[in-house]
Amino acid sequence: MKAQKWILAKKFSGQANDENFKLVEYDLPEELQPNEVLCQAVYLSVDPYMRLFPNAEGNPMIGEQLAEVIKTKNGEFPIGSLVLANVGWQSHFISKGDNLTPIRFDIGSTPLSYTLGILGMPGATAYFGLKRCDPKPNEIVCVTAAAGAVGSVVGQLAKAQGLKVVGFVGSEDKLKWCRDELGFDHVFNYKNTNFSEALSKVAPEGIDIYFDNTGGDYYHTIINKHMKKHGRILVCGSIQNYNDKEPKKFDATNISILMNELTVYGFMVYSSYEKWPQAFTEMNKMIQENKLKVKEQVYTGFENMKEAFLGLFKGDNTGKAVVKAVNASTNYP
């Protein structure tokens, strides 16, 4: 049968662009071998880390998808099974089952695509990243890329735990969503506001937690000027720098970390993988109770993977960016 994949056509160098990607068609065997299953992508995730992940030209772009088993010779995965798989940007793939993960919690009537967002890797990042910072009621947390897949969940979880939330976003629509619908205390559009001046105004005594999704000048300025004593910084992501050819130079932060006795955590979400189902069960309940709100930027059609991915670096997405390849044939929303 004919399948499609997006390959890394040219290694990334500087700003990711059209030339880095190519959509190619290829043949998959018609006949399955014993224990094999044929899977079809239903939803595919695009995430900022894909810009930096080591990959060779000609290989599929890496990434996770929610797929449906459409042909099977493996009793563990009957036709219609829905599975998560880190198999890259492929419309179809054949597996022996060893790289397939069933949804590990009761998703109920929650949309399936959330397994790549709030009830998937980005949601776990928000949940366990915030937890790592030991948040306490009435503390102030600042989050960057605040209307994104991770940031929008960080802010809402922090509000639910009694913290004050300051968020930075790149558009007026995102600002309104975070402030008026998600209930963040202060939200600023960094494209028309000096973020350091804004932080000084709303948190003159400093902030307790900085959940850093952007790195770059935010990271350095916030550490040097805006942390309270014993503050905590979660180095979650550094999207400001992913497209840099050369690392930019910033003021050193060591003296500020030392003087204020700050704690800087490096964070990789897969370290808490075994605990994800418990977090998703809790967050799914909050979604059902309307205590957690979710937005997705859904791109329809496998051919739009590239556009969805490049959009992450232009701020095109509010909430989680996903690509819907086909409808699942099972009875899920």
> Is 273 near ligand LGFTCAMA (CB under 6 A)?
no
Find where tokens 């599975």 sit: 83
Residue 265 interaction partner, one of ligand LGFTCAMA, ligand NDP, none, beta carbon < 5-8 Å per kind? none
> Is 85 near ligand LGFTCAMA (CB under 6 A)?
no
Residues in contact with 75: Cβ distance below 8 Å, sequence separation at least 6, in sequence order: none
Task: Give the interface segment with ligand LGFTCAMA, choosing from 48-56, 98-106, 175-183, 224-232 (CB under 6 A).
Answer: 48-56
Q: Rounded CA gap, 256 and 253, in Å?
A: 5
Total of residues contacting ligand NDP (CB under 6 A):
29
Total of residues contacting ligand LGFTCAMA (CB under 6 A):
10
Give the 3-state secondary structure percentages of the chain, helix then strand then coil, rounded to 5: 30, 25, 45
| CA distances (Å), origin 74, targets 102, 196, 198, 248, 251 | 14, 57, 57, 51, 57
- Torsion sign over Cα 111, 116, 118, 120: positive
With respect to ligand NDP, which residue has the nearer C-beta, 253 or 317? Answer: 317
The single residue among 155, 170, 206, 231 that binds ligand NDP, judged by CB under 6 A, is 170
The single residue among 236, 287, 305, 322 that binds ligand NDP, judged by CB under 6 A, is 236
Phi then psi for residue 241, to 5 deg, are -105, -5
With respect to ligand NDP, which residue has the nearer C-beta, 69 or 234? Answer: 234
Cβ 97 vs Cβ 75: under 8 Å = no
Q: Rounded CA gap, 191 and 136, in Å?
A: 30
> Is 155 near ligand NDP (CB under 6 A)?
no
- The CB-of-149 to ligand NDP minimum distance in angstroms stands at 4
Closest CA to 177 of 204, 199, 149, 152: 152
> Is 88 near ligand LGFTCAMA (CB under 6 A)?
no
- The CB-of-52 to ligand LGFTCAMA minimum distance in angstroms stands at 4
The string of DSSP codes covering 5-60 is EEEE-S---SS--GGGEEEEEEE--SSPPTT-EEEEEEEEE--GGGGTS---TTSB
With respect to ligand NDP, which residue has the nearer C-beta, 40 or 152? Answer: 152
Residue 105 interaction partner, one of ligand LGFTCAMA, ligand NDP, none, beta carbon < 5-8 Å per kind? none
> Is 264 near ligand LGFTCAMA (CB under 6 A)?
no
Residue 228 burial by CB count (10 A; 0-12/13-18/19+): exposed, middle or buried?
middle
The single residue among 85, 269, 283, 321 that binds ligand LGFTCAMA, judged by CB under 6 A, is 269
With respect to ligand NDP, which residue has the nearer C-beta, 160 or 268? Answer: 268
> Is 240 near ligand NDP (CB under 6 A)?
yes
Residue 239 interaction partner, one of ligand LGFTCAMA, ligand NDP, none, beta carbon < 5-8 Å per kind? ligand NDP
Q: Rounded CA gap, 127 and 151, in Å?
A: 10
State the amino acid at position 98 in one-letter form. Answer: D
Task: Give the interface segment with ligand LGFTCAMA, choosing from 193-201, 204-212, 250-258, 262-270 (CB under 6 A).
Answer: 262-270
> Is 24 near ligand LGFTCAMA (CB under 6 A)?
no
- The CB-of-115 to ligand NDP minimum distance in angstroms stands at 14
CB atoms within 10 A of CB 331: 6
Residue 53 interaction partner, one of ligand LGFTCAMA, ligand NDP, none, beta carbon < 5-8 Å per kind? ligand LGFTCAMA
- DSSP-assigned beta bridge partners for residue 148: 319
- Of 216-255, binders to ligand LGFTCAMA (CB under 6 A) are 237
**Given the rule CB under 6 A, which residues bind ligand LGFTCAMA?**
48-49, 52-54, 121, 237, 268-270
